[in-house]
Amino acid sequence: MEGVNLIESFSEFKDIKNIDRATLMSIIEDVFRSMLIKRFGSDKNFDIIVNPDKGDIEIWKNRQIVDDEFAEDSFDYDVNKHISLTDAHKIEPDFEIGEDVSELVKLEDFGRRAVLAVRQNLVQKILELEKSEIYNKYKDKVGDIINAEVYQVWKKEIMLLDDEGNELILPKTEQIPSDFFKKGDSVKAVVFKVEMKGGSPSIVVSRTSPTFLERLFELEVPEIFDGLITIKKIVREPGERAKVAVESYDDRIDPVGACVGMKGSRIHGIVRELKNENIDVINYTANSNLLIQRSLSPAKVTSIKLDEETKRADVFLRPDQISLAIGKGGFNIKLAGKLTGYEIDVYRDTETELDNEDVDLDEFSDEIEADIIEELKAIGCDTAKSVLELSDDELKRRTRLDDEAIADIRKVLESEFD
């Protein structure tokens, strides 16, 4: 009966997917050889035949037939190696001296305790090996995308099962804020961290890692997968915004256009997977000044002052561009800083602001006579700056104004901008 229980315990593991057939057979043989050594002191003259398909095991004891006198009187006689002719005839009457005898060893003969110990040892070794195989399998998959099914949802994490039923953990911290999953849902994530805890593999997956976004680009953009376009750097604020710097080694390929696709066909799938996360694809350059300008897109930068020692960048923009540069929640400027490696400060470009301000000539009707304003308009000067841009000689040549009138007009207009 104990032998039957042992065979059943072996049968439980013969279909394990994470352990290959040869390794499983080797483990089973090692366990039984340990049992033989404890019982007989040696396992050298024993053959162990493992049949994984049927889930059974046979142990054969091999001995050489010697005459009865040698068996009784010789110091070289070894019960594990030799068998007397008389004992051999009990097995088969036709045996002769010098022949080899193979005798089936019954598991019941080892006793109940020995069988239970072997069964426990077998179960433990196979479970340990299975855990080790799962760990090694996923250790090599760190950074790869996997698809898994939600098995259980908890407050701080979600348990997923892969195709082979292995448990994966998706912590709340590695979920996009707008993620919502229920049991049975399919989840796409990247293998983030694999480690052994208490003898069991702990496999953590992530949807917030920049590597996840990088792998999604590889799936959607063949040029990236083939190596024609390289992703230089990715920075993310999961669920809000991401910036991806790309570079092409082929001048004929526009890296940004290839990543976005015709009418956004390629990037739309990535955006949907990331719960409508805004993705800015930027053409990488080694020119820090230009890279900062591109990274602050969609804002248009007027000028930049860089301090290479402190890695600070003072960026000047027109007033209407400042909010674009900062972005909703400050994410745009924050990610631009991470992407470029500079701490970016934005400033209102007052010079440009003044340059862009102008005043219609009709606004000066209280200080300049109406006929003079009409004469200036007749030569195409409708605003104060358009008049100030002309020299005194040009005004005299094109109008009937004298030097004194021109000086008075210039004084009034210039005072508006002082």
Please tell me what DSSP assigns to residue 63: E
CA separation (Å) from 6 to 1, 108, 117, 380? 9, 10, 10, 105
Task: Assign domain 141-206 to its CATH architecture.
Answer: Beta Barrel (2.40)
φ/ψ (deg, to 5) at 104: -70, 130
Contact 185, 149 (CB under 8 A): yes
* Nearest Cα residue to 232 out of 214, 246, 212: 246
CA separation (Å) from 158 to 142, 149, 176, 319, 349? 19, 10, 13, 46, 49
- Which residues, in sequence order, are bridge partners of residue 147? 188
- Quickly tell me which residue has 């050889």 as its tokens: 33
pLDDT for residue 60: 85
Task: Assign domain 2-135 to its CATH architecture.
Answer: 2-Layer Sandwich (3.30)
- Quickly tell me which residue has 């005459």 as its tokens: 67
Which amino acid is present at 56?
Answer: D
As a whole number of angstroms, the distance between CA 8 and CA 23 comes to 19
Helix (H) or strand (E) segment spanning residue 182: none
pLDDT for residue 49: 80
CA gyration radius for the chain?
42
pLDDT in tens, the chain (418 residues): 344 445 555 555 555 555 666 777 777 778 888 888 887 887 888 888 877 666 577 888 888 888 877 777 677 777 778 888 888 887 888 888 888 888 887 777 777 777 777 777 777 877 888 888 899 999 999 999 999 999 999 999 999 999 988 999 999 999 999 999 999 999 999 999 999 988 889 999 999 999 999 999 999 999 999 999 999 999 999 999 999 999 998 888 999 999 999 989 999 999 999 999 999 999 999 999 999 999 998 888 888 999 989 999 999 988 888 888 999 889 999 999 999 999 999 998 765 544 556 777 887 887 888 889 888 888 878 888 888 888 888 888 888 888 898 999 988 888 877 6
Domains of the chain by residue range:
2-135, 141-206, 358-417
Which amino acid is present at 165?
Answer: G
